[in-house]
């Protein structure tokens, strides 16, 4: 399993994470910021647990993020 | 010589800076909210909720408020852009600073005044004429010479180029602050290295670092001595402000929404004095030297005259970060102010403070207060030195608050 975390308030809506993984990331047309699909909010941080198959693309999404608000970590199931 | 009112426009990234700009004599302020502005990365950005308070403060002090909405926009930004324009209209922001055509179009439909952003790189009279259909104020590219600027302002009059208000289009120029190594904003270094687009306000400023050139064939490295070869020095026009104004510029914009309140206070104070001196005929080069010395006390990468005096090649900074001649050290926080006694109480949290020291107080309501300490009292007894942990009171003409920070100003 991996956990993806996003500090959404700091997102500048550049779309770079969507380019890396269009399944997990979607830009909101309401506020122009990116939404972590199925992410659950806790104190302004959104996170979701997903399968290992999404690891690579989301590491890329994290590396792409110009404001470094995405974190991807492997966790034990 | 024209004696029209010259507008001095201040950068504002926080409530501290907003009050500092007003205290120092700015005629207008510009600021960004949310992420669609050229300081999207700045942690100090305002939110939509702050807008009502900002515009109320500005109206109270008869200062105009301009909202920057000047990044490149994608399809997914359009709704946010429209809601920002709508909110700006509701809160009676005086104008929106824009460069993207979507913003120009929507703001015009909504009847919101528009100023053209430096991101549009306006460099010729026909472009001014094009934007005149949308905007009453156009900022010209920082890469023009004053001779070119003067030709444009002359042609605006000659061709009677008027904005939506029916008045002649006003020309705005940057007078002070950071310069971009590329034609303003047209740089992709940050995007290439970190996916951080300068044109979305996320520039990581690669140009401000030092670099080594490497010969791939024999592995020899060359270090470029003493110069940050891509880091332009900061623009400073105070010693030729008369020429700027003679070129027909009527709005002087100061760069630095990411800078601190004391930077805003010092730069706006100096340019305010210089503009007033120009207008009452007392502007002299001697005075300019003194202003420039004061400007050097706050953040700067060394000063040069930019491209305004006809230079084609840039001047590069020889330091990383600031060359400011003074720096501020945090020493404590505000406690309360005694109106009758005219005394301010602070809690010392670091360093020491002695009579004769220069201090700086900043806060979201206080703005910026600068003073020299005459006497320090601890437990109502005069003391020669206050240390960490002391609760001190000092004589001060300005009210201070518990949200204020106290700094000591020292030589850098």
* Model confidence pLDDT, tens digit, residues B55-80: 999 999 999 999 999 998 999 999 99
Based on the domain organization, do B99 and B145 belong to the same domain? yes
What integer pLDDT is reported at residue B271 of this predicted model?
Answer: 98
B254-306 tens-digit pLDDT: 999 989 999 999 999 999 999 999 999 999 999 999 999 999 999 999 999 99
Q: What is the DSSP letter of B75?
A: G
Find chain B residues with C-beta within 8 A of A19's C-beta.
Answer: none
Based on the domain organization, do B330 and B289 belong to the same domain? no
Based on the domain organization, do B159 and B57 belong to the same domain? yes
Based on the domain organization, do B92 and B163 belong to the same domain? yes
Q: What percent of chain A has pLDDT over 70?
A: 99
B136-179 tens-digit pLDDT: 999 999 999 999 999 999 999 999 999 999 999 999 999 999 98
| Residue B189 near chain A (CB below 8 Å) | no
| Residue B32 near chain A (CB below 8 Å) | no
Q: How many domains does chain B have?
A: 2
Residue B187 lies in a domain: no
Element (H, E) at B64: strand B64-69
What integer pLDDT is reported at residue B205 of this predicted model?
Answer: 86
* Cβ atoms within 10 Å, residue A43: 5
B20 CB contacts (<8 Å, ≥6 apart)? B261, B262, B264, B265, B268, B362, B367, B368
Residue B215 lies in a domain: no
| Residue A68 near chain B (CB below 8 Å) | no
Q: Are B262 and B20 in contact (CB under 8 A)?
A: yes
Q: Read off the CATH number of the domain in which B244 is found.
A: 3.20.20.70
Q: What percent of chain A has pLDDT over 90?
A: 92
Cβ of A14 and B77 within 8 Å?
no
Find chain B residues with C-beta within 8 A of A11's C-beta.
Answer: 35
What integer pLDDT is reported at residue B43 of this predicted model?
Answer: 57
Q: Read off the CATH number of the domain in which A58 is found.
A: 3.30.70.20
Chain B closest CA to A2's CA: distance in Å?
24
What integer pLDDT is reported at residue B348 of this predicted model?
Answer: 95
Q: Are B259 and B14 in contact (CB under 8 A)?
A: no
Give B130's pLDDT tier (boundaries 50, 70, 90): very high
Q: Are B113 and B95 in contact (CB under 8 A)?
A: yes
CB-nearest partner of A66 from B36, B76, B194 = B194
- What is the C-alpha to C-alpha distance for residues B74 and B197, in angstroms, rounded to an integer? 13
Query: pTM for the full model?
Result: 0.88
Q: Read off the CATH number of the domain in which B350 is found.
A: 2.40.30.10
Q: Which of B33, B139, B31 is nearest to B86 (CA)?
A: B33
Q: How many domains does chain A have?
A: 1
Q: Which domain holds residue A64?
A: 2-74
| Residue B40 near chain A (CB below 8 Å) | yes
Q: Are B152 and B231 in contact (CB under 8 A)?
A: no
Q: Which domain holds residue B387?
A: 326-411
pLDDT of residue B199 exceeding 50: yes
| Residue B196 near chain A (CB below 8 Å) | yes
- What is the C-alpha to C-alpha distance for residues A65 and B241, in angstroms, rounded to an integer? 42
Residue B21 lies in a domain: yes
Residue B11 lies in a domain: yes
Residue B204 lies in a domain: no
B213-231 tens-digit pLDDT: 788 888 887 766 657 878 8
What integer pLDDT is reported at residue B1 of this predicted model?
Answer: 40
Dihedral angle over CA of B394, B399, B401, B406, nearest 10:
-50
Beta bridge partners of B11: B30
Element (H, E) at B235: strand B234-236
Q: How far apart are the first and last CA of chain A?
A: 6
Helix (H, G, I), strand (E, B) or coil at B184: coil
pLDDT of residue B2 exceeding 50: no
What integer pLDDT is reported at residue B210 of this predicted model?
Answer: 83
Give B195's pLDDT tier (boundaries 50, 70, 90): confident
pLDDT of residue B315 exceeding 90: no
Q: Which of B180-194, B226-240, B266-280 has the highest mean pLDDT?
A: B266-280
B272-283 tens-digit pLDDT: 999 999 999 999
B317-370 tens-digit pLDDT: 888 888 899 999 999 999 999 999 999 999 999 999 999 999 999 999 999 999
Residue B61 lies in a domain: yes
Chain B closest CA to A53's CA: distance in Å?
24
């Amino acid at each position: 399993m991996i956990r993806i975390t996003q500090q959404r308030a700091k997102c500048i809506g550049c779309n770079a994470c969507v380019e890396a993984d269009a399944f997990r990331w979607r830009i909101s047309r309401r506020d122009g910021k990116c939404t972590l699909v199925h992410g659950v909010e806790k104190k302004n941080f959104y996170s979701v647990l997903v399968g290992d198959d999404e690891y690579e693309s989301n590491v890329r999404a994290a590396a792409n993020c110009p404001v470094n608000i995405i974190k991807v970590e492997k966790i034990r199931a | 010589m024209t004696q029209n009112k010259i507008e001095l426009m201040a950068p504002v990234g926080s409530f501290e800076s907003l009050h500092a700009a007003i205290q120092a004599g700015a005629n207008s302020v510009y600021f960004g909210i949310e992420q669609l502005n050229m300081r999207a990365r700045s942690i100090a950005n305002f939110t939509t909720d702050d807008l009502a308070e900002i515009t109320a403060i500005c109206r109270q002090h008869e200062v105009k408020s301009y909202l920057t909405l000047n990044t490149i926009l994608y399809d997914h930004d359009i709704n946010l852009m429209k809601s920002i324009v709508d909110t700006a209209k509701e809160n009676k922001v005086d104008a929106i600073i824009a460069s993207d055509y979507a913003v120009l179009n929507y703001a015009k439909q909504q009847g919101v005044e528009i100023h053209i952003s430096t991101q549009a790189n306006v460099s010729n009279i026909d472009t001014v004429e094009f934007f005149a259909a949308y905007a009453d104020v156009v900022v010209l590219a920082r890469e023009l010479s004053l001779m070119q600027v003067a030709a444009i302002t002359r042609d605006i009059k000659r061709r009677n180029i008027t904005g939506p208000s029916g008045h002649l289009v006003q020309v705005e120029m940057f007078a002070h602050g950071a310069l971009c190594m590329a034609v303003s904003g047209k740089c992709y270094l940050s995007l290439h290295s970190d996916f951080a687009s300068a044109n979305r306000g996320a520039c990581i400023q690669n140009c401000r670092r030092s670099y080594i050139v490497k010969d791939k064939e024999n592995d020899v490295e060359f270090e470029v001595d003493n110069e940050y070869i891509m880091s332009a020095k900061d623009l400073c026009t105070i010693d030729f402000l008369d020429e700027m104004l003679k070129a027909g510029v009527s709005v002087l914009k100061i760069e630095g929404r990411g800078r601190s309140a004391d930077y805003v206070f010092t730069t706006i104070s100096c340019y305010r004095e210089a503009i007033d001196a120009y207008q009452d005929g007392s502007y002299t080069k001697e005075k300019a030297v003194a202003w420039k010395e004061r400007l050097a006390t706050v953040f700067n990468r060394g000063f040069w005259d930019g491209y305004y005096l006809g230079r084609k090649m840039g001047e590069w900074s020889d330091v990383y970060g600031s060359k400011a001649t003074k720096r501020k050290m945090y020493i404590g926080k505000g406690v309360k102010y005694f109106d009758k006694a005219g005394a301010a109480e602070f809690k010392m949290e670091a360093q020491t403070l002695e009579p004769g020291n220069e201090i700086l107080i900043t806060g979201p309501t206080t703005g910026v207060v600068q003073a020299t300490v005459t006497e320090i009292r601890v437990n109502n007894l005069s003391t020669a030195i206050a240390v960490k942990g002391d609760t001190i009171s000092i004589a001060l003409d300005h009210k201070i608050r518990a949200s204020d920070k106290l700094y000591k100003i020292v030589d850098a």
